[in-house]
Amino acid sequence: MKRFTSFILAFCLMLVMAMPAYATGDVLLIAPNPAADKKAAAQQLADEYDWTRLADRGITLNVFNWGEYMSLGQDGAMHVNKEFEARTGIKVNYQTFDNNEGMYTKLKSGGANYDVIIPSDYMIAKMINEDMLQPLDWSLIPNATLYMDEKYMDLDYDPGNIYSVPYTWGTVGIIYNTTLVDEAPTSWAALWDERYANDILMFGNSRDAFAIALLKNGLSLNPKTIEDVEIAREDLIAQKTVVQAYVNDEIFDKMCGGEAALAPYYAGDALTMMEENPDLGFVSPSEGTNLFTDAAVIPKDAQNVEAAHMYINFLNEVEVALANAEYIYYPTPHTGAYELLEDEMKENPVAYPSDDVLANTEVFTTLDPEISAAMDTAWSDIRSFNQASNDLFVPTVFLILVIATVAINVIRSRRQKRRIEY
């Protein structure tokens, strides 16, 4: 009888676990603060997880992630994808992107098919709104229920975490070369400083670039009006006179090699660069900055959905999450990995900012379609704007008018001369 009762209890727990992640009320498996019985059910699923159940199906899993954003065997660290392949028998085709917008365009065009992608919060919200993602089956990712810090769950970009499992979080600031700047910058305005003309790098994606210009002008990094967009547009066009290049992953070579003095970038990557080049420093500007979360999601047209869940569950194995946190230096939302981090990393103010810094942050939100379209147009204008050509426009027009006037006078003079001779 006891065995039968235990079987019924286990069966009921499995039913709870199998309920859709988008259900409401107490049946939610996931954070914030999942109930003890759900934690117990998740632990049972984790303990009994069959990592080899798809091994004989010849699956190749297509994963799309940011560059330099996973431990892949560098310097003797764990090679996450090879470990996953060895454990599951599933091959991993791993590709990288350097900004959310480029990733979105590639998926939207239908030019590629992926099973797991790791975008940022605001892009996840956009993709949810456009029905580009599919709900997760949380019974297939019990590690996320066991180890995900509730502070990074149930956020505005994905209420209830129907579609996403947090991977990392972080902030944006200014990385600078102490040998090339007179003093540590304190404001976003430093990226417009003419003293460092042609030694300043700028984000190569629109959302981050506009956020900086908006914050510099005392505005929200989420523009509320077309006027906000125009203010940022004008400032970013003015900045072009001092910008050496618009970059994403290229920033590593340029800042580590001492080829630029100042650049805005993500704090986790700043730590990687600072380790390679000790002349580099990092600051959070006084006007405030962006607080972001990157998370794993499964596209609507994924071909290997169960394997995709298995990969996300693997990323949340304690030793895997720890390897990623130690290699990429981004703060982890994974409680098991965080507990095992060295105190030096936990206490690093670049990786884990102080409460004062975090209190002066803002998250990206989904923009009104009209505002978003205006920003896209403005960004195109900014990138195509040629200051030299613009500066030459007036004198060129004047020169053309002078030449035209002279030509007209010459023609009139010749006609008059012919009349006299006639």
Mean pLDDT of 365-383: 95
Instruction: Give the position of tokens 């003890």.
Output: 36
Strands (E), 121-258: 165-177, 200-203, 243-247
**Contact criterion met (CB below 8 Å) for 131 and 159:** no
Residue closest to 162 by CA, chosen among 144, 178, 180, 143: 144
Query: Of all residues in the chain, what percent carry a pLDDT higher than 90?
Result: 81
Structure confidence at residue 317 (pLDDT): 98
Mean pLDDT of 137-156: 95
Structure confidence at residue 415 (pLDDT): 55
Structure confidence at residue 408 (pLDDT): 61
**Contact criterion met (CB below 8 Å) for 166 and 333:** yes
Mean pLDDT of 359-377: 96
CA angle 87, 93, 96 (to 5 degrees): 120
- Give residue 9's pLDDT band: very low, low, confident or very high (50, 70, 90): very low
Compute the distance between CA of residue 312 and CA of residue 117 in angstroms, rounded to an integer: 10
**Contact criterion met (CB below 8 Å) for 265 and 98:** no
Res 276 pLDDT > 50:
yes
Mean pLDDT of 381-407: 57
Q: How does pLDDT run across 202-229, given as a tens digit for each residue?
A: 999 999 999 999 999 999 999 999 999 9
Structure confidence at residue 36 (pLDDT): 80
Structure confidence at residue 354 (pLDDT): 96
What's the chain's length in residues? 422
Query: Of all residues in the chain, what percent carry a pLDDT higher than 70?
Result: 84
Structure confidence at residue 403 (pLDDT): 60
CATH ID of 2-164+297-351, from 3.40.190.10, 3.20.20.70, 3.40.1640.10, 3.40.50.970: 3.40.190.10
CATH number assigned to the domain covering 170-291+369-384: 3.40.190.10
Structure confidence at residue 385 (pLDDT): 83
Mean pLDDT of 383-402: 54
Structure confidence at residue 30 (pLDDT): 59
Res 12 pLDDT > 90:
no
Q: How does pLDDT run across 78-128, given as a tens digit for each residue?
A: 999 999 999 999 999 999 999 999 999 999 998 889 999 999 999 999 999
**Contact criterion met (CB below 8 Å) for 203 and 312:** no
Average pLDDT, the chain: 88
Q: How does pLDDT run across 35-92, given as a tens digit for each residue?
A: 788 889 999 999 999 999 999 999 999 999 999 999 999 889 999 999 999 999 999 9
Does the predicted TM-score (pTM) go above 0.75? Answer: yes
Mean pLDDT of 369-391: 83
Mean pLDDT of 244-252: 95
